[in-house]
Structure 1
Amino acid sequence: MKKLITKSNRLVEKGRMIGIGLLSLALLLSTSLQPATAAMNNGKLSVASGSKADIVVKGKITDDKNGAGLAGVSVKIKGTTAGTSTDNAGNYSLTAPDNSTLVITYIGYATQEVAVNSRATINISLVSSTTDLEEVVVVGYGTVKKKDLTGSVSSISSERLMDKPAFNVGQALQGKVSGVQVIQAGGGVPGGNPIMRIRGSNSINSSNDPLFVVDGVVGVQNALSSLNPEDISTMEVLKDASATAIYGARGANGVVMITTKRGISGKTVVDYNGYAERGDMNRHVYTFTAYRLMYVYTQAGANAEKF
């Protein structure tokens, strides 16, 4: 009788283990073959599943300043190639795991990563990204990165422009740009306007002066002498065909694009640079008056040999 009871208990134990195995297999199939574990605690079955439930995530992507919906924004699930884009109103909808992360990218805006956290509705405001001005050159048709620039353009920063004392922009620019010649008119007469030539003179009858564009204002006269060198932020000299891309024949002698300094947010900073200029005549050449000129002319004629 005792042997029968022992044998019966073994059969019950085997049947229980088979039942646990079948239940674990069913759980694995129902969770799309995701990792799952089963254990017996005091005769009870406990199951832990590592499955990721997929949910439908909807929302709207807007601009943080005006709240307008952004069309064509890329919304992707991080670590995968799955994703979607927003419609004309900025709305999007996609299926994603409840513990995934959405990566939102759009041209001109900072990239954002947002955790789903089992949320069905996620509205996102994108912040416009600040343009990186490092190694950026202004050309006739906009701005490009210096490494992507194919035209002949020379860029000068305010630090390089004012690395030595100068009374005007012409003096500050001398010898700092290849292919550009700056001459002080009148042989250095105080107050004279500098003359600028880009890659030599192109015409005999017409003007050879380049076109000056200051803060978008085209055709500024005497910019080399009228502007304060300390007020200049950047200066670009366009020396080839890119100069005529926007300005046409006016840029045939080259274009000088000047951007002046402007106020920025933050702590107030005051800079002062003072220069003094004095012009002295080394040698004075005295000239005749009209009466003395006629007297000398008459005396010369009287004393000359007669033929």
Structure 2
Amino acid sequence: MPGSGQKHYGCFNCPNIVRQKDRHTISSRNRAFIAKLTGRTPSNSDFLCNKCRCMCQHHIKRKTSMPSRVQQVPAQSTEAPQFSPPSIPLPFPSTSRGHASCCMCQRQGPKLVVVPVGVRHHIFITKEVIIPAGARCCPNHLQQNIDDLNPLSTLFNKTGITELVKFLRNEVLKKERTRLDFDSRGNLASTDYQSLLGIPKTAFEDLLKYVEGKVKVTPVRTVRTTLAIFLMKLRGGESNRILSTLFNISKSSVHRGVKSIRTVLMNGGFVAENLGFGHVTREQIIQEHTRPLAQKLF
């Protein structure tokens, strides 16, 4: 007879045929999720299989346990950062900081350059004059022509004093690590220069004029130290490892220092003025580099 056969009960969500013991009525918590998932509204006689019921419970549990993520945008302060005004006097004179005129001789531009950090520190140590960061000067002052200094009174703030103390601390630590010190002119005698570099101290100072202001000063080596490394390598042919041990700097710094000195001497006029036939005239060769008999013949 029609309708007397076995009925098949399917899950409301999936097409699986569900046995009676695995049929689960749709609770009020799962009803909204199932309606949203299937697009159909379940009735009271509909049911879910065990797999779909666990899926609904897992989704609802995860949704309720996750905190609401509200993107909090930090309030941007419209106020400019406050710096303490320079109001603390120090017993060290300082120069001006303007960009339009030289901080040393007060000459108006153009062709002014920013005073490097190494030069500012050197002037402070030797002359006890503070040059503010960003100050400009004439290019010839980088050759240590600093006799035209016209210092003013010094007013510092908290930031400036902190930077000054850090600089002095770094200088002390650098001196403790230094093994061969060519920065101080009184540490090594002229005979020491002759033994280590192959030239006397006066010749070293003359050669320094060709590279001063043209070689980058780093926290671990100055221009004098870089030139000493270059001359010591020329004299004895020591490896970069030995030079790094003697001067207590890295091998890469030794390599860069030697390369920079070589480039400056080649392109800066020293080689052209002292080597080759172009640096001397025929008359100078006859008068200074020939014997008396050859001078009479020529």
If the length of structure 1 is used for normalisation, what is the TM-score?
Answer: 0.18
Larger helix share, 1 or 2:
2
Larger strand share, 1 or 2:
1
